[in-house]
Amino acid sequence: MKLKQRVVLLAILLVIFIFTKVFLIDNLDSSAANREDQRAFHRMIAGLRVELASKLDHTLQSPWEIAAQWVVPREVYPDETPELGAIMHAMATKKIIKADVGYKGTQLKALLILEGGQKVVFKPKRYNRDYVVEGEPYAGYDRHNAEVAAFHLDRYNRDYVVEGEPYAGYDRHNAEVAAFHLDRILGFRRAPLVVGRFVNLRTEIKPVATEQLLSTFLTVGNNTCFYGKCYYCRETEPACADGDMMEGSVTLWLPDVWPLQKHRHPWGRTYREGKLARWEYDESYCDAVKKTSPYDSGPRLLDIIDTAVFDYLIGNADRHHYESFQDDEGASMLILLDNAKSFGNPSLDERSILAPLYQCCIIRVSTWNRLNYLKNGVLKSALKSAMAHDPISPVLSDPHLDAVDQRLLSVLATVKQCTDQFGMDTVLVEDRMPLSHFTGQAWPSFPFRDLRKWVRAAGALSRRYWALFRCRVWPETCSLDKEAPAGALGWSLPLLGQQYLDILTTWYCSFQDCCDHGDCRVSNNFTGLQSDLSVRLHGQHLAQELVLTTVKSYLELPRPDKALALSFHGWSGTGKNFVARLLAENLYRDGLRSDCVKVFITMIHFPHPQYVDLYKEQLTEQVRKTQEHCHQTLFIFDEAEKLHPGLLEALGPHLERQVLENHRAESSRTIFLFLSNLGGNVINEVVLGLLKAGLSREDITMEHLESGLQAEIVASTDSGFGHSRLVKENLIDFFVPFLPLEYHHVRLCARDAFLSQELLYTEEALDEIAKMMVYVPKEEQIFSSQGCKSVSQRINYFLP
């Protein structure tokens, strides 16, 4: 085909691309998302009023079991909750069988155990509502009703004003309640359930109180009081009941199977007069945050933005730390706990709370849509309706409700400033995944689906043609590596449109060399992998040698008849995920973003055992489709020890030896990585014994660890991994031990964290960070109990 003819065809396809991009694809995508968001909003409004009633229509007759079953990595409770009224009724009325001092913290609280064994946190009313407080934003006690209003957003006067900064004054008990309901209205579903409750201190608490809590009770006038145990708890500042009856809020304790991990908030305040945090004077601070784990990938940064909006609406400037689920690698939600420093002064709007939003200038599309649905007084009305049936209703006064409405307009204006500066496509982020096993069906069906597939295919191919044409006509201004699509020709498109793209691709490839598989972006940079493993990975000489040797040997085989399966074992923070990432970065130009690399996190992608049959179908299909479109694939399974036995069995056929029928055809190459904490204890015990015996760490070999590690995996009763056919039939090629890290390894991790953010560091700072970690065993204190996990967050303490 002559060049002139190609130019004409390219011009036609370019017009098609522009048309489909501007008028069809974007509009179809955005309208579909908008319709789904609108339906979700109407469902929320329809179920907003929650009447507290004891009736429970559910196969599980325990309200506590239902609430525990709701919790998954990205939400505390589901979109539709018909049992919510019964659960909140139980929280407000169930008999208290034990009372103790609250968990560690700065504010007064009590830990109660209700009938049925459910833990709740009780936050008492600290003062009457007409009290006016002056002081700093972080002064005073918690307001217990903030938790409920954040989920739904007094019997005494609710019109008092806390003067001063947003976190000034004593904490308001009603703020806990209000914060809980706002979370529900915003559709975040990240706040634990909260409800108001009245308790009789004399008849309900004292008879079942522990000695530690009971020792803090006293009588002031005719009122029963207590001051508990906490950082700011003083006998001179007790919380007092009205006689014996005390008003407060109760927050449902999250299930123990979901342990929490505390993180320092990247936009936290210094709380020191005259000393600003870096974000308060550095407008480019967000760029530094984006280079730091867990904000460099995954949903955590967008969760921070959501939380900034949430905190601004309730007036909470005191979120110096936050919690997520443990060992989540940034994938779980940011949990909205401790919202009591809220609703202090309706006349004060602290704009700095929105710093993550206006410095990063990104926000979820779903959040943006929900905020727009709530303007024009809808938010105020929704909050009043949500909290109407709470036992301490009215939860908020009208000035506070009006303030929330006004703050909403400020949030919308802030986003508008960002879109004016950077454009809607940059600011509004659509991070909902279309795979049903991630979050359910994300995209509704709509007319013209076939047309949408075709124009997507044509539009994508025209982009490729234009890049190639530019490179041919103006080679000095173009680099194929940079201009070509990140994935293979067509693989970056939805698979549903692949048949249409194949026709166009066949025509294009008739006159231009092209790659029809995902391997277009395979790099297999073994030199870089060797360098990264030796320089960036610390304390893991066994993993370094074994991973490099096995992967390189496997990928250099002319016709492998089996997938390579490696199982990484060791304590959290020792580098298992890091090595998996290094493999992806050096084997594929696009690293973990490559279409030929698939990462599965057990509790994120397969959270519900009752859906294991569905998960098996989806997982098998995902593996099959990826292998069809990529001659070299990488599958990573994090938290492999938690994989359901059915899923492990479904993976078996993919790890078996295959009969190669066509000896001339190129066989595919597949690598499976299984990441697990299983066997970590036996690795640590063996290493500790060898070190005590005088052996140097570098002299430890696989022979020292292999048999004990495999025996521990097979013998484990806490996981089905060791009993699966993957292990029993020797389908795992190598079990790779990750050794526990020592003090000097943590220092190296801290150094790397500083360098990754292009920050200066001192040897003293590295020592301080290393000393922050907990070392075990208790006597020897040799190994970091968390490895290098959380080191990158700890360097924030040393930023100017």
Strands 223-226 and 217-220: what pairing? antiparallel
Clarify whether residues 33 and 120 are in a common domain.
no
Q: Which of 429, 448, 463 is the last residue of a domain?
A: 429
The predicted pLDDT at position 658 comes to: 82
pLDDT single digits (tens) 663-686: 555 678 999 999 999 999 999 999
Q: Which of 429, 445, 461 is the last residue of a domain?
A: 429
For residue 599, what are the β-bridge partners?
636
The predicted pLDDT at position 329 comes to: 67
Burial degree of 381 (CB within 10 A; 0-12, 13-18, 19+)? middle
In a domain, 331, yes or no: yes
Mean pLDDT of 627-634: 92
Q: Per the structure, how many domains does the chain have?
A: 4
Per-residue pLDDT band at 778 (split at 50, 70, 90): confident
Using an 8 Å Cβ cutoff, are 457 and 501 in contact?
yes
> What CATH number corresponds to the domain at position 592?
3.40.50.12190
pTM over the 0.75 mark: no
Residues forming the annotated binding site for Mn(2+)?
Answer: 171, 338
The predicted pLDDT at position 162 comes to: 59
Clarify whether residues 240 and 315 are in a common domain.
yes
The predicted pLDDT at position 575 comes to: 95
Q: What is the mean pLDDT of the chain?
A: 82
In a domain, 734, yes or no: yes
Q: Which of 154, 318, 327, 328 is catalytic?
A: 318
Clarify whether residues 208 and 241 are in a common domain.
yes
In a domain, 453, yes or no: no
Mean pLDDT of 228-241: 90
The predicted pLDDT at position 80 comes to: 87
Per-residue pLDDT band at 503 (split at 50, 70, 90): very low
The predicted pLDDT at position 484 comes to: 37
In a domain, 602, yes or no: yes
Q: Is the model's pLDDT at 76 over the cut of 90?
A: yes
pLDDT single digits (tens) 716-764: 888 889 999 999 999 999 999 999 999 999 999 999 988 887 788 889 8
Q: Is the model's pLDDT at 779 over the cut of 70?
A: yes
pLDDT single digits (tens) 426-469: 999 987 654 333 333 333 333 333 444 444 445 555 555 555 54
Quick check: is 767 catalytic? no
The predicted pLDDT at position 137 comes to: 40
Residues forming the annotated binding site?
Answer: 107, 123, 171, 251-254, 323, 338
Per-residue pLDDT band at 166 (split at 50, 70, 90): low
In a domain, 77, yes or no: yes
Clarify whether residues 676 and 784 are in a common domain.
no
Clarify whether residues 763 and 782 are in a common domain.
yes
Higher pLDDT: 442 or 336? It is: 336
Clarify whether residues 24 and 84 are in a common domain.
no
CA 124 to CA 607: how far, in whole Å?
35
The predicted pLDDT at position 208 comes to: 96
Clarify whether residues 256 and 401 are in a common domain.
yes
Q: Which of 412, 429, 446 is the last residue of a domain?
A: 429
In a domain, 495, yes or no: no
Residue 319 has phi, psi (to 5 degrees) of -90, 75
Per-residue pLDDT band at 609 (split at 50, 70, 90): confident
Clarify whether residues 357 and 322 are in a common domain.
yes
Mean pLDDT of 383-387: 94
The predicted pLDDT at position 133 comes to: 42
The predicted pLDDT at position 56 comes to: 78
The predicted pLDDT at position 31 comes to: 63
The predicted pLDDT at position 654 comes to: 93
The predicted pLDDT at position 139 comes to: 46
The predicted pLDDT at position 328 comes to: 63
The continuous run of DSSP H or E covering 195 comes out as strand 194-200
Long-range CB pairs of 651-658, under 8 A, 24+ apart, other chains included: 651/619, 651/623, 651/726, 652/724, 652/725, 652/726, 652/729, 652/731, 654/563, 654/623, 655/562, 655/563, 655/565, 655/726, 655/731, 655/732, 656/562, 656/731, 657/561, 657/562, 658/561, 658/562
Residues forming the annotated binding site for ATP?
Answer: 107, 123, 251-254, 323, 338
Clarify whether residues 235 and 209 are in a common domain.
yes
SS3 assignment for 408-438: HHHHHHHHHHHHHHHCHHHHEECCCCCCHHH
CA 50 to CA 152: how far, in whole Å?
9
pLDDT single digits (tens) 524-572: 999 999 999 999 999 999 999 999 999 999 999 988 989 999 999 999 9
Residue type present at position 569: H
Which of 658, 645, 638 has the alpha carbon at shortest distance from 597? 638
pLDDT single digits (tens) 82-134: 899 999 999 999 999 999 998 777 888 999 999 999 999 999 998 564 443 44
Q: Is the model's pLDDT at 417 over the cut of 80?
A: yes
Clarify whether residues 366 and 243 are in a common domain.
yes
In a domain, 496, yes or no: no
User: Highest-confidence range of 362-376, 508-522, 748-762, by mean pLDDT?
Assistant: 362-376
Clarify whether residues 700 and 769 are in a common domain.
no
Mean pLDDT of 31-47: 82
What would the two tokens of residue 168 be? 């000034």
In a domain, 153, yes or no: no
**Enclosing domain of residue 36:** 10-47
Q: Could you give the percent of the chain with pLDDT greater than 70? A: 77
Clarify whether residues 723 and 765 are in a common domain.
no
pLDDT single digits (tens) 305-333: 999 999 999 999 989 899 999 866 678 89
Coil, strand or helix: which one is 505? helix
